[in-house]
Amino acid sequence: MAQIKKKEIRRAILDAAYKLFSKRGYSDTNIANIARTAGVAPANVYVYFPSKLEILFSIYKPWLTKQFDVLERSLQRITNPRQRLRKILSTLWREIPSADNGFANNMMQAISAANGRDGYSPSLRLAIEERLARLLEDCLPSTDRKNARDIARIMLMAFDGYALNFHLKGGAVCPPRHLALFADILIAPPQGRGRLPSAKAQARGRTSRAAADGRTRVAG
């Protein structure tokens, strides 16, 4: 006979896990700790969640979604593209990594230790990447909007690093000058980005230099 699941027990397990993950971290928390804090038997935890990773995902998904909900509401009050981009960067590289005692670092710990049996799925990461790309499209010059997904992926990789640094370096977050620099790189007009000249332009340059060298030799 299937065991009846109770919402209050599931909530107690999640609350206990959140408390322990926030205080100890994912790696130093086990199912026995969670069960004891929730007031249930360890075997009962597995009735509700197949693994510790699944418990973390059940907490982290709504937690991270809420962070982006707050970001989107704040962006509604900002019209300047550069300021919007800096707000996105500040949220992603400063505010979320430091929120709730660096809770995001738990996911870094979990993913680094995950294996096939844990049932890891990249679905949340891909959904957040797509959501971030949509926010970036409203900030970037039209020529770069097609690259918004790739830029979002790079920014999330940097987010992972800042989530780690918050714990490894005593609460360190991205310096404001780095935010400003990255925003300026993305917002700068195409002609100001130092792009390599086309093949035709390079050929014209070589021809001009050769002609100039010939004139120099004749004059000498």
Type of residue found at 62: P
- pLDDT tens-digit map of 41-92: 999 999 999 999 999 999 999 999 999 999 999 999 999 999 999 999 999 9
- The pLDDT value recorded for residue 1 is 44
- The pLDDT value recorded for residue 210 is 52
pTM of the model: 0.79
- The pLDDT value recorded for residue 5 is 75
Residue 108 and residue 89: Cα distance in Å, rounded?
19
Residue 19 and residue 37: Cα distance in Å, rounded?
9
Residue 181 and residue 208: Cα distance in Å, rounded?
35
- The pLDDT value recorded for residue 128 is 96
- The pLDDT value recorded for residue 141 is 83
The answer to whether residue 220 scores a pLDDT higher than 50 is no
Higher pLDDT, 159 or 169: 159
Residue 105 and residue 63: Cα distance in Å, rounded?
13
Type of residue found at 127: A
- pLDDT tens-digit map of 161-177: 999 999 888 889 999 99
Average per-residue pLDDT in the chain? 86
Higher pLDDT, 137 or 207: 137
- CB 184 within 8 Å of CB 89: no
